[in-house]
Amino acid sequence: MSVNLSCMIKNHFKYSDGEASARAMLDDTMSKINDPYGENIYIHDNDYRYNDVYAIHEDWDNNKEGLFMILELYEGFWHVDTCFKYFQYFDDAFIRERFFYLAKLLGERNFYVCEEFYSWNGGCLDEKCTFEKWKMDVEKRLGYVIPNIKFNEILKNRKNGATYPPVCFDECSDIDENNIFFKKIQWL
């Protein structure tokens, strides 16, 4: 059985700001994600209320690179629902770089990654979920504090048969923003 990958990227949204604020944040986020030079048009539609959560859908028919399937807005964070499998995050630097790219577009430099069982498929998210509630619920289920990962150490240890945690915080301190991939986002 394959387990899907979810990503949580922090934001400053508060439910008390109201629906107009949520819609403005979605519109602003869409304009950030869509390349202003027309190279990549990521957004398919802006479904303001997808499963009772404010969300943005990516256009997978026209964008084969893919950043996400659905980007859901919660108080204090974005939930990034992906088509990737959790193990792929640790096996494919491309996927990790894409999440770093998305986080940077959203004003962050790091994020949490988790198995689907700690996000949409595990009862950890509801329409009024906050970042603090999500993190507290996940740490209670894990029985320990969500670990910060050192990506290079995980890769080295995996070759020796070690596994990786089902939820972790990636500081992305080892990602080189000067490589060619990140030259595309100099317009931020």
Residue 188 lies in a domain: no
Residue 79 lies in a domain: yes
Residue 142 lies in a domain: yes
Neighbour count for residue 112 (Cβ, 10 Å) = 23
- Three-state SS at 2: coil
Please tell me the distance from the alpha carbon of residue 163 to that of residue 165, in angstroms, as a whole number. 7
Residue 158 lies in a domain: yes
Range of the domain at 84: 4-183
Mean pLDDT of 30-55: 56
Please tell me the distance from the alpha carbon of residue 39 to that of residue 114, in angstroms, as a whole number. 30
pLDDT in tens, 165-176: 899 999 998 887
Q: In the structure, what pLDDT confidence band is assigned to residue 164 with cuts at 50, 70 and 90? A: confident
Neighbour count for residue 138 (Cβ, 10 Å) = 21
User: Looking at the 3D structure of the chain, how many domains does it have?
Assistant: 1
Please tell me the distance from the alpha carbon of residue 115 to that of residue 141, in angstroms, as a whole number. 13
Residue 156 lies in a domain: yes
Neighbour count for residue 23 (Cβ, 10 Å) = 14
Structure tokens at 8: 């949580």
What mean pLDDT is reported for the chain?
78
Residue 106 lies in a domain: yes
